[in-house]
Amino acid sequence: AVATRLAATLGTAAPRAQEWLVLTPRDRMPTPNHVAFPKPPKAPDGSLMYERVLSRAEQEARRNEAA
């Protein structure tokens, strides 16, 4: 607002939005070659299927069983 009033007072054109600040439309966004974290597959009921991650206690228990 201040820059616009100052530009109008000095008789110069108000600064426009810079090209690098304008958002690229979604349909023109480049697609990545590799997806770092792909979505897990879905089960027939719609829930996500994923490999279970053991808790620290479960990992230690398995180590103790193996030893």
Which pLDDT value is given to residue 14? Answer: 61
Quote the CA–CA distance of 49 and 39 in Å, as a whole number. 10
pTM: 0.33
Which pLDDT value is given to residue 2? Answer: 85
Q: With 80 as the cut, is the pLDDT of residue 12 above it?
A: no
pLDDT digits (tens, 9 = 90+) for 14-60: 667 778 888 999 999 999 999 999 888 999 999 999 888 999 999 99
Under a CB-based contact definition with an 8 Å cutoff, are residues 14 and 4 in contact? Answer: yes
Q: Which residue has the higher pLDDT, 44 or 2?
A: 44
Q: Which of 35, 39, 55, 38 is nearest to 47 (CA)?
A: 39
| Sequence ranges of the domains in the chain | 2-26+37-66
